[in-house]
Amino acid sequence: MPSFARILIDRSEGQELDYAIPLELKESVALGDRVVVLLRKRRAVGTILELMDHSEVPGIRPIEGLVGGDTTVTPAMMSLARWMADYYCAPFASVMRCMLPPMLRGEKIAGKKIRMARLLKTPDELELGVLGKKAPKQRAILEALLSAKSSLAVPELLRLAGSSDASLRPLVIAGMVGIEEIRAGIEGGTLEEVLPGRIPHLNPDQEKVVGILLEAIASFGNASNGKLPFLLYGVTGSGKTEVYLRALQRVLESGKSAIVLVPEISLTPQTVERFRSRFDHAEGGEGGGAGVAVLHSHLTNAERREEWMRLQRGEARIAIGARSAVFAPLSNLGIIIVDEEHENTYKQEETPRYHARDVAVMRGRLEGCPVLLGSATPSVESYRNVVAGKYRLLELPRRADGQLMPLIRVVDLRLQGKRAKSDGGLSAPLQMAINKRLELGQQTILFLNRRGFATSMLCEQCGHVCRCPNCSLSMTFHRAEERLACHLCGHSSRPPERCPECRDPGIRHSGIGTQRVEEGIRKAFPSARIARMDADTMTRRGSYEEVLGKFRAGKIDILIGTQMIAKGLDFPNVTLVGIINADIGLHSPDFRAGERTFQLLTQVAGRAGRGETEGEVIVQTFSPASPSIQHARHHDFAGFYEQEISFREAFRHPPFSRMLLIRIRSVSLERAERGVTMVTGIFRKMAPASVEVSEAAPAPLERSHGQYRFHVILKSSSGAVLGKLAREAASQLRLPEDVVMTFDVDPYSMM
Ligand code: ADP
Ligand code: ZN
């Protein structure tokens, strides 16, 4: 029987504190329960994240009472949490937080309208003292508002203060507390275009795939184990979504529930509507799309919580959302679908650093339900799992609308004059192609891969790139120290004065200023209507939909963007897609650089020519012969995979090894260096022979947020060996104060 609990306090920016469990509660407390505790002499509400037998906190205080459990963590989810904490070397409490509904910080939804209370006048000690004697419940209300420092929803306020409306009313009459009503609700999102509700006849490829899936859905409940996940490899526009919809339909008919994961960036009203419009009526719900709950980061906490609760109460049986929707509180799952399974945004870049696709596969196994991963460009890991017999392959090799794949033209930047290089990087063929679209009244998307933080050494005469002899990764040029460094193995060398290939001295000063691209385009096409879309310009809620809406309505001729615009969007009038500089992705210091470039080009190409007219894609590069570009050009996933997998095998990169990235950071360079030396020292000492420990290296992004950053990379054939090693080493390590060490299992970002 556990004696202690770790509690996440609601309104304290994620603070976790330990409390003792009083005897009378020992039988009843469970993970996820809501409790009242004392925090600096005030009562506060929190959630139990972890139950423990021991606590090292001296003078620990007891839990005051139970507010009631409005969350339930099922046994399957508990197992999932334990697996995640173990596999990702993450604190158990950090994992539990993912499984609980979003916390409210002074906001709460209760029906359509909510009453918010706020202090109109700050009471002084004297007033509080008098009230405390006369009307302690009124005093409690004032105190709750004082400590909240903002307005509170009335039900939340009354719960916190342990009071009722009867005690609130005198305070309102006395002018101490103001009440206002605000509208709450989940915005439907404005849709410029209502998608046809017509259900298409499946084509023969889809028939076959759906048949296999329906059979799996029907038979899965019986045997809970030994069923393999599916990988649906379907070219862009092959009708994967229709396959998902059919599978979901069957799941709903059999009374079960489902999770659909999509990358955050493609979670547009358009995508959501495709699911809602199909299942609205199936549930017989009201207009807002009963049956489907949406979870994404643009919602406020209150909205996300409301969606979460609808799922938990069974009012919605389909959860669609980004990464965190994998934890949707659904029981009786009939399928988990992960669309665009290759997407990096499924990897969470903060603790716990989980990969939602892999968690989905594990959840499916624990819950005993089929898992369907879909992509036009499957990840090397997933396809390798097919080859190894761990996943089952389903294929949609043709576009559903019978269109041909668009033509991809490669422009060799080495052959373009100096002007193109300085002129915002627009080559003559790309300029001509844009011009033609403007004349025809058609639209263009220009894809601008954000400039990497690190710079590779690239020769603009011959395209040569300096690579690590051990890892074959592009080396990073640290100008200040005059070093070339490999961030995977730590190998470093002096940068060459001239290109080793063609002897050109220009290799030291390369790199197109991508910042200038937009300027260059505006100058080249002064009368065109141009919009840019990237993380910087899209911070405001709704601005993303706004720009897309304008683009769809034909009010924008040229859309410039980053990754954001490469996914899942369907624009019939776009007939040209230009990639300004394919090399930035290709030469990033990352063993997945080639894979990412292939995926990007293929996905981007899928955006062109979705309508009546045929599309064209123009790729600018200094490395036209690179396999990623050539295979993408020929729409040849198999060829790309064969070449990539042999590269991974030759250099023992994942999936031929498991990787653990250890990051060390500190505001002090000296302490960070001391820390990283200690870390490499202890891992070298403790690691079994089967584990490779790299040299300590500065992270490609050496300084960020005023911190000095280093990393060490461990490789092993066994993930379990790595995890065990990490935990044991961490428990022995005494790092200098303010040196922070984090573990990243199966890392995706090497920065
Ligand atoms: P994917 O998700 O594979 O990129 P989509 O599901 O978006 O492809 O389908 C691409 C287009 O083809 C959509 O406009 C969709 O409505 C249409 N489509 C899908 N299946 C069929 C079908 N069986 N018959 C006709 N059109 C279809
Ligand atoms: Zn190396």
pLDDT digits (tens, 9 = 90+) for 390-419: 999 999 999 887 777 778 899 998 887 665
pLDDT at 708 over 60: yes
* pLDDT, tens digit (0-9, with 9 covering 90-100), for 147-181: 776 677 787 788 888 888 888 888 888 888 888 76
CA of 236 to the centre of ligand 1 (A): 9
* pLDDT, tens digit (0-9, with 9 covering 90-100), for 339-396: 999 998 899 999 999 999 999 999 999 999 999 999 999 999 999 999 999 999 999 9
CA of 214 to the centre of ligand 2 (A): 46
Q: What is the pLDDT of residue 359?
A: 98
Per-residue confidence band for 183, with pLDDT thresholds at 50, 70 and 90? very low
CA of 319 to the centre of ligand 1 (A): 22
Average pLDDT along the chain: 82
Burial class (CB in 10 A: 0-12, 13-18, 19+), 705: exposed
CA of 470 to the centre of ligand 2 (A): 5
Cβ–Cβ contacts within 10 Å for residue 23, how many?
10
Structure tokens at 286: 């009201």
Residue list, ligand 1 pocket, CB within 6 Å = 200-203, 206, 234, 236-242, 400-401
Q: What Cα–Cα distance (Å) separates residue 453 from each residue in 124, 425, 456, 707?
A: 53, 19, 10, 15
* pLDDT, tens digit (0-9, with 9 covering 90-100), for 201-226: 999 999 999 999 999 888 875 544 44
CA of 239 to the centre of ligand 1 (A): 4
Q: What is the pLDDT of residue 588?
A: 77
pLDDT at 270 over 80: no
Q: Which residue from 401, 403, 610, 612 has its CB within 8 A of the most atoms of ligand 1, so it is best to mutate? A: 401
Smallest CA-to-CA distance from 98 within 338, 348, 302 is with 348
pLDDT at 741 over 90: yes
DSSP-derived letter for residue 126 is H
DSSP-derived letter for residue 229 is P
Query: Pick the residue with more confidence: 282 or 689?
Result: 689
* Paired strand residues for 230: 372, 392
CA of 200 to the centre of ligand 1 (A): 8
* pLDDT, tens digit (0-9, with 9 covering 90-100), for 650-685: 999 999 999 999 999 999 989 999 999 999 999 999
Q: Which residue from 202, 207, 242 has its CB within 8 A of the most atoms of ligand 1, so it is best to mutate? A: 242
The three-point CA angle 735-738-742 to 5° equals 65
**Cα 444 to the center of its chain, rounded Å:** 27
pLDDT at 282 over 50: no
Residue positions counted in the chain: 751
Atom of ligand 1 nearest to the CA of 201: 23
Torsion of CA 679, 684, 688, 690, to 10 degrees: 100
Q: Which residue from 201, 209, 241, 396 has its CB within 8 A of the most atoms of ligand 1, so it is best to mutate? A: 241
pLDDT at 520 over 60: yes
Going 216 to 267 to 348 to 658, the CA torsion angle's sign is positive
CA of 295 to the centre of ligand 2 (A): 40
Phi–psi pair at 160, nearest 5 degrees: -60, -45
Q: Alpha-carbon distance 100 to 48, whole Å?
A: 10
Q: What is the pLDDT of residue 110?
A: 37
Atom 9 in ligand 1: residue holding the nearest Cα: 239
> In 159-195, which positions are buried (b, 16+ CB within 10 angstroms) versus exposed (e)?
bbbbbeeebbeebeeeebbeeeeeebebeeeeeeeee
* pLDDT, tens digit (0-9, with 9 covering 90-100), for 537-553: 555 556 777 788 888 88
pLDDT at 514 over 80: no
* pLDDT, tens digit (0-9, with 9 covering 90-100), for 27-86: 878 887 778 888 887 888 788 888 888 887 778 888 888 775 556 678 888 889 989 989
Atom 11 in ligand 1: residue holding the nearest Cα: 237
- Residues less than 5 Å from ion ligand 2, measured at CB: 468, 470-471, 486, 488-489, 491
Q: Alpha-carbon distance 562 to 541, whole Å?
A: 18
Closest listed ligand to the CA of 470 = 2
